Structure 1
Amino acid sequence: MSQAFSALWASIVRTFVPLVVGFFLQLAVTLNIPLDPEFENLLAGVLTLVFTTLYYVAVRLFETYISPKLGWLLGYAKSPDNYTADSPAKHKAE
C-alpha cells in the first residue's frame, strides 16, 4: 500500500469514526423521547453535530496531551501530522 493511500485511508477513518459515534450518541439521547417529527429531525442533526465535534476534540486533546496511542479512539492511531507529504514531521526527518 502506498504512503499516499495509507495517509488518505487514515484521514477517512479518523473522520468517519467520530461521525458514527456522534450519530449513536444522538440516537441514544433521543430514543423513546416523543417529539414533533419536524423538531425531532432538527434535534437529531444538531445533537449529531455537537456530539461528533465534542468527541473529536476530546480525543484529539487526549491524543496530543496524554498519549498518542489514544488516537485509536478515532479509529486509527496515526496522528494527522503525518498524513501529508509536506508535513513538518516529514521535513524534519529529511
Structure 2
Amino acid sequence: MSDTFSALWASIVRTVVPIIVGSVLGWFTAVNIPVDPEFEGALTVLLTLLLTTAYYVAVRLFETYISPKIGWLLGYAKTPDSYSKDQQGKHEA
C-alpha cells in the first residue's frame, strides 16, 4: 500500500468512526427522550452532531495529552500529524 493511500485511508477511518459512534449515541439518546414525532428527526440529528463532536474532541485531547494509544478509539491509532507527515511536500508540486 502506498504512503499516500495509507494516509488517505487513515484520515477516512478517523472521520467515519466518530460519525458512527455519534450516530449510535444520538439515536439511543433520542429514543429515551419523549418528544413530539414531528421533532424526533431534528432532535436525533442535533444529538448526533453534538455527540459526534464531543466524542471526537475528547478522544483527540486524550490522545494528545494523555497517550497516543487512545487514538484507536477513532479507529486508527496514528494521529493526523503522524500519518500526513511528509505528504504536504508531495502535493505542492
Displaced runs of 4+ in structure 1, greater than 2 A?
Answer: 32-38
The residue aligned with 2:25 is 25
Identical counterparts, % of pairs = 67
Deviation at residue 32 of structure 1 after TM alignment: 4.6
The residue aligned with 2:58 is 58
Q: Which moved more, 1:19-28 or 1:31-40?
A: 31-40
Aligned mates of 1:37, 1:58 — CA distance in 2: 31
Q: Contact 2:30/2:47 (CA < 8 Å) preserved in 1?
A: no
1:5 aligns with 2:15: no
Q: Contact 1:14/1:74 (CA < 8 Å) preserved in 2?
A: yes
Aligned partner letter, 2:88: D
CA RMSD of aligned residues (A): 1.4
TM-score by length of structure 1 reads: 0.85
TM-score by length of structure 2 reads: 0.86
Aligned mates of 1:74, 1:38 — CA distance in 2: 33
Deviation at residue 20 of structure 1 after TM alignment: 0.5
Aligned partner letter, 1:86: Q
**In structure 2, do the counterparts of structure 1 residues 32 and 50 end up closer, same or farther at CA, with 3 Å as the change threshold?**
closer
Aligned mates of 2:74, 2:32 — CA distance in 1: 28
The residue aligned with 1:80 is 80
Deviation at residue 86 of structure 1 after TM alignment: 2.1
